[in-house]
Each structure stands twice: as C-alpha cells, then as structure tokens.
Structure 1
Amino acid sequence: MKIDEIIKKSIEIPGISIKRGEFSAELILKERDGKGSMTFFPLFPGVTLAYIFVNSPAWTAPDFHDNGSMETGPLLLNYCVTGRCELILNNGNFVYVKDGEISLTERFARQQYVYPRRIYEGIEFFVDMDTVNAQSSWVEAEFDIDFHRLRDLYCPDGGTYIASVTTEIEEVLKKLWSLLDISVPLAIPQMKIYTLALFSLLQNLKEIPPSQACTFFTETQVDIAKRVEKIITSDLRQHHPAWELAAQFSVSETSLKNYFRGVYGQNISIYLREVRMQRAAELLTTTKLSVSEIAEQVGYLNQSKFSSAFKKQFNASPLEFKRRKNLERNTSN
C-alpha cells in the first residue's frame, strides 16, 4: 500500500489535517483530548520515514476495509523514543512498545493508535513492497537489502516483532532522530544514508534478539486496566485501594496490578502520583488557588507530604515552581 493512500485516508478523519512542504507532508492531529503530528519524508520510492509526536491518548486510524483492503499493509518499523504504544496481535491480544524498543509488523491498528501514557515520540518507516520492487530494485542490487527477507526474518506468518534495540541499531536510530535539528534540505541525504544503514544492520544481525511480543494481555485484561485508570484519575481527591478495585472487577489484587503495569508501564501508585503532580503543576500556573487548596484538589490532606512529592517530581517546591513559570511567562511576553 502506497503512503499517499494512507495519507489520503487519514485526512478524511475529523480532527486530522495536512500541511505540505517541499520535502515532506505533515499530518496534524487536533482534538479535544489532545494533539499530535506525523511528518512524512519520502526517501526512496516505496520507503518513507515519519517522525511522530503525540500528546493524546489516541490517534484515529484510517479505515481501509471499505475498499476491500485487509488489515495488513506496508511493512511498518517503529522505534519508540519516549512513551508507550499499544499494538494488537493477530490473535487479538495486546502488546506494548516502550522506550528504546522497535516493532516490525504488517498490521494496521484496528480503529486507533493508542498511547496509554498520553505521550509518544518516535520514528516510523513505511515500506511498500510492490513499489520497492518496481522502482527501487537498485537498493537490493547496490546494498544487498532485501525487504521481503527482512519481513520473513522478523514477521514470519504475519507476526509482530518487538524487542529492545541492539547498541549498533540504537546508534543509527539516534542519529536519525537527531536530524530533526538540521534544516530539511541538508537532513534528507543523511536520512537516506542512515535508513540504508539501519535496514542493512537489521538484515545482517548475527543473532536477532527474541521478540517480546510473547508477553501479551487479553482484551479483557486491557479493558480492566483502562477502566481502573479512569476510576483513579476521574477524581484525584479520592483514594481507591488496590484490593477494593480488584474486588470490583472480580480479579486478584496481584492480577490487577499486573494488568495495570502491563498497559501503563508503571505501578498504580507511581502512575497516580505522577498524574496528581502534573495536575498540581497545571493548577499552580493557571489558577490563584493556594498550595493547601491545590494539595487537597489532588488528594493530599497533608500539605507537607504534597510539597515533598511535588519537589521530588519537579525538583522545585510548589511556590518555586509557580514563581519560575510566572517569570518565564512574563519574559516571553
């Protein structure tokens, strides 16, 4: 499937627009729940690189079923720089790509790309096999890169591959990521060089790290974790013991904690503390509430404990944080 088809279907989705440049096309997500961008750079016929920035719980996926297409598409290679991304396996189970991991698959998201932590930054390659064979056969001839072989190595039988990157591959991916700081005309040739190096390394690894896609969660388990997240974050003044939540969903406390950690990558207590601190930071900079009032709003009856937790999170006391943000705002104005 050609990248132009994916972009065309994407901009039919409400909340997604496009900004075209001389060397790239940028999809822009702007919805009530968040925002994001995905900037595509066509490097070779059939090979496109995209830089992804998301501050949203999800990004609606294009629907290709109305024209008879299947769920499989181009070979997709993802590298997660920051955040967490949800993938669905052929059997309907869920796996998660996190910081420093890559995934290779030919499967599109069912309805949306889900980011449990609401933040995601990464790189994605789209490889359209038919176009590569027809127009970029020189890549295999000159560099001995066979994308069909790559697919068979990492995604046999339509599977999904997830693993932490090796040191060599990580170096190339970090160089690709750093090209965002360079002007586009100068960056394009380097993008091409590092892309060829990346796929060559992947194809010629002496020992491919085992896939972590074997660590999966069922739809029911993921649903429980997401419902728990909604309960504990809907009113930060409330406290919900894990045993109480487990009883509500008729699972053991250990199972509940495992489901939550699997989906969100953190223990419930750590995740909730970070949500509370982020909300407190927002209230400090957007309201005139006192520190004690904000502490109560985010579930702390003891102001001293709140201030200690806040300083641990932001390396500044609530009042120091507020003064710093006010100064930054006044300076920018």
Structure 2
Amino acid sequence: MTLWTKETITGDLRNLPAGVQEIRTPEGELCRLPLPESGGRGRSEEIRLCDWATMRLEWYEAEGFHSRHGAEPGFLELSFCLSGRMGWQLRDGSGLYLGPGGLAIRLRESCSDSRLQFPLGYYAGLAFSVDTRTLDAQLPVPLAQMGVTGAGLLERYCPGGRSLALAAQAGVAPLLEPLARLPREARPAWGLLRIQELLLLLGALEQPELSSPEGWPRDQLAAIQAVHARLVEDLSRRYTIEELSREHLLNTSALKAGFKAVYGQPVGAYMRELRMREAARLLRESDLPIAGVAAAVGYENQGKFTRAFKEAVGLLPTEYRRQNGPLRGKQFPGVPRQ
C-alpha cells in the first residue's frame, strides 16, 4: 500500500474475516488474532529495530477495539498518525485524540488495558515502543552528545503517567511519513535512524510546542458522540449549534472544541463533506431527481445544492450522474463513507 486513504485501507483488508487482525512478526511469520470487541479488520507489521526499540506499521477499518498488552514499566510508547483518527480512553475515563501528522506520547503501562477508538472508521499509523532503561544503558552517541536520555524523556513528557498528543505542527511528520512508503526490507535500517532522530527532536522541542489539549472528560466525550449521532442519523435535517448545545447540555464553545478534537474538523466543515459524499452516492446509485437528492442531504433549494456540489466535487450534479464514476474533483479524506 502506498496511499493510506480509507479506500486503499478498505481494499487491502477486504479479504480478512470480520473481527480479525493479521500480524506479521519480526521474523516474517503471519498470524491472525481476534480484534477484541470489534467487527472490524486490521493488519500490522512488527519490526525489531534494536535492543531498545521496536516499530509497528498498522492499519485498521473499525470503530475501535479493546487493547490489552503487557504493562512493562519504563517503556515509552510513541504513536504517529498517517491517516484517519485514533483516540484512547484513558484510565480516568477521559479521552485523547490523534489526527494526521500528530504524535501521541504515553507510558506503555498506562495503556495496557484500554479502549482504542477510530472516530472516522479507519486509521493508519506508525508506533514505536522504546525501552528507556535499555536505551540509557546503550545510549547512542548522537543522543549522548545532545544530553537526551530515556529517563529524561519520561520525566519531561509523562510525569505522573500523563499522556500527551503533539499536533502536526511539531515537525514530526517529515521524519516519519517516509517510513510508510519504504519497501519492507528497508524499514529496519531507516526505522532505527528515524527513532533516534525522533528522540533528538523530542529532547529539543521548546515548551510552547509541547502544549496540547488535555484528555476530554468522560461526560463531555459522551455528549460529543451523542451530538455526532444526532447529526448523521438524518442528513435531511439541519441543526444549529445552539440547538445541539441545549439538547446535550454543553455550552457552545465546549461543543465546537470537543467535536473538532474527536472528529478532526469543525461541525460545519464535517457535515458539508458528509452531505456531499452522500449526495454523490445518491447520484450514482439512485434515480432520485436532483431536487430529491438535494432534499435528502439537507438542501431545500436545488440551486444552492448545485453550487455546493460543484464547489466540492468539481462537477455539476447532472454531469456527475452522467459520468457515473468516482469523484473527479476534491477528495474527502477526513470523513468516512456512511
């Protein structure tokens, strides 16, 4: 796979049974394991980089699953999002979410029994596991020269077991994105180089760049997910932020900030893209008149719908229906097909 879109992930996983993940071990063996509490599918490739670091390339088409693994103390877990979104339900019930280009930093023991969530229905990413005690016993020369140690990184990023998500602007993406495009045989050598560079970068980041949203409280997360369910259950209906805020007992600022944290976009942008996806599907798969398609996705005025569709897709609805093919204009990587 070279493009980590929802469509390529779906195509790659199509032949796997529901509720199964396929794992390629560092020795090259393939095994299939259940995806706990999930009807989704997934694959991962595990790569041993050195005595103190392993790397994992993983991709899923799922709403989420329960993750259980060993709770080894002193292990630093670094998760980098290539596409989609991933969230963790933390020990206190709050949630932390990661979007494309972002990096999550946490202790392995803090996520040994946790619920992973994929708000958009898919995810692709890289994950590194760093044994900080072995790292410090075999500290590579570049890290030693810059005074970067595993113990220092734990103290800086995970005091008291804290989990942290760095936004894409932190500069991690240029280091890690190329790893996912390499041939499998090249990943161990390049992965070892990149994990050292990543640790150097984490040791050098200034404090303002470390700021990130804290985990969202359990009750707010439940309310945001209920808002999402209300929005997508009937695309012909439109709701104002004020209506949703009153219904779900959230102030408008918390609703807007929480929705963007979980689903990666403001409410308005997310719903526009979702409506255009559904409109494109109806134009391909139904014989509804254009006015009927417009009404089905929440446009009372056919002219407004036509303008919105042309702006989003690059074709008039009539042109798109005549071609009866995939989207030729703007793609929508952030919103799952319904």
**TM-score, length-scaled by structure 1:** 0.75
Q: Who is 1:173 aligned against? A: 176
Distance of aligned partners of 1:167 and 1:91 in 2 relative to their CA distance in 1, 3 Å threshold = closer
1:110-169: CA deviations, max 9, x gaps?
A: 542112233433221122456x46xx9545468536323322221122111222366764
What is the aligned counterpart of 2:127 among 112, 124, 148?
Answer: 124
Q: Who is 1:5 aligned against? A: none
Q: Do the aligned residues in 2 keep the contact of 1:90 with 1:158 (CA within 8 Å)?
A: no
**Mapping 1:23-172, distance limit 5 Å:** 23=28, 35-56=41-62, 58-63=63-68, 74-89=75-90, 91-106=92-107, 107-108=110-111, 111-129=114-132, 132=134, 137-140=137-140, 144=144, 146-164=149-167, 169-172=172-175
SS at match of 2:210: coil
2:264 is the alignment partner of 1:265: yes
Q: Do the aligned residues in 2 keep the contact of 1:83 with 1:115 (CA within 8 Å)?
A: yes
Distance of aligned partners of 1:41 and 1:292 in 2 relative to their CA distance in 1, 3 Å threshold = farther
1:228-252: CA deviations, max 9, x gaps?
A: 1101101112222333222222344
SS at match of 1:96: strand
Distance 1:101 1:236 in 2: 30
Q: Do the aligned residues in 2 keep the contact of 1:26 with 1:37 (CA within 8 Å)?
A: no
2:194 is the alignment partner of 1:194: yes
**Deviation of 1:60 (Å):** 0.6
What is the aligned counterpart of 1:20 among 1, 21, 24?
Answer: 24
Q: How many pairs align?
A: 304
Distance 1:223 1:102 in 2: 24
Distance 1:225 1:71 in 2: 33
Q: Which letter maps to 2:184?
A: V
SS at match of 1:62: strand
2:227 is the alignment partner of 1:228: yes
Q: Which letter maps to 1:301?
A: E
**Deviation of 1:109 (Å):** 7.1
Q: Which letter maps to 2:19?
A: G
Unaligned runs of 5+ in 2: 1-17, 328-338
**Deviation of 1:50 (Å):** 1.9
Distance of aligned partners of 1:261 and 1:207 in 2 relative to their CA distance in 1, 3 Å threshold = closer
Q: Do the aligned residues in 2 keep the contact of 1:105 with 1:161 (CA within 8 Å)?
A: yes
Q: Who is 1:331 aligned against? A: none
Q: Which letter maps to 2:196?
A: L
**TM-score, length-scaled by structure 2:** 0.74
Distance of aligned partners of 1:250 and 1:159 in 2 relative to their CA distance in 1, 3 Å threshold = closer
Distance 1:59 1:81 in 2: 17
Unaligned runs of 5+ in 1: 1-13, 329-333
Q: Do the aligned residues in 2 keep the contact of 1:86 with 1:94 (CA within 8 Å)?
A: yes
Q: Who is 2:330 aligned against? A: none
